[in-house]
């Protein structure tokens, strides 16, 4: 009779441990799935931002805007929250060859694990004025301008942007 009681106690403990392990594994898989889903959804937004930056660069670099216009102010059209979380956009510029730069655009969610990045190729005459992170808001905009040989500065929406390199496309978030 003692063997039956000991067997039941051992099996009950094994069943409890198995249940705890199953619940832990299910929570772990759920967390991994939600992080991957967040990364996938944020990836679409970061791709769109990178394409916008590349298009604005091409417009300003080729001087395809009307005469008298010295800059392009492009609203990135992002909401102030992505997936219910505030977010941060950061830009990092690196030189690939003598004639090409690679711009790495990263969006990371604040308070969540979601993060995505992509890169675009830009020409040799690009300069970032702000590479620091910018927290998203309803007015997250990209400013791009190209100064003539005279230097000076450009005033856009009350903000003054310096002309540090003539004939360079200068960008700021």
Domain positions in the chain are: 44-172
CA distance linking residue 116 with residue 43, whole number of Å: 5
Tell me, what's the pLDDT at 69? 65
Tell me, what's the pLDDT at 149? 57
CA distance linking residue 128 with residue 103, whole number of Å: 10
Tell me, what's the pLDDT at 21? 92
**Which two tokens mark 65?**
């805007």
Whole-structure pTM value: 0.71
What are the backbone dihedrals phi and psi of residue 170, each rounded to the nearest 5 degrees, phi first? -110, 135
Give me the average pLDDT of each 10-residue run along the chain (173 residues).
74 89 90 81 88 85 66 79 84 87 89 88 80 65 70 67 68 71
Please choose, from the candidates 108, 103, 172, the residue with its C-alpha nearest in 3D space to the C-alpha of residue 136.
108
Tell me, what's the pLDDT at 66? 63
């Amino acid at each position: 009779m003692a063997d039956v009681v000991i067997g039941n106690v051992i099996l009950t403990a094994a069943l409890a441990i198995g249940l705890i392990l199953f619940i832990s594994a299910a929570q772990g898989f759920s967390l991994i799935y939600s992080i991957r889903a967040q990364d996938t959804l944020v990836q679409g937004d970061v791709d769109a931002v990178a394409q916008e930056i590349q298009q604005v660069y091409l417009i300003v670099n080729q001087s395809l805007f009307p005469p008298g216009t010295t800059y392009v102010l492009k609203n990135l059209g992002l909401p102030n929250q992505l997936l219910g979380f505030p977010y941060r956009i950061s830009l990092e510029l690196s030189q690939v060859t003598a004639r090409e730069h690679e711009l790495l655009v990263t969006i990371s969610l604040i308070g969540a694990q979601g993060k995505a990045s992509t890169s675009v190729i830009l020409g040799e005459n690009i300069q970032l004025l702000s590479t620091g992170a910018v927290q998203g808001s309803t007015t997250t905009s990209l400013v791009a301008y190209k100064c003539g040989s005279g230097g000076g500065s450009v005033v856009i929406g009350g903000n003054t942007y310096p002309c540090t390199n003539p004939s360079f496309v200068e960008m700021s978030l």
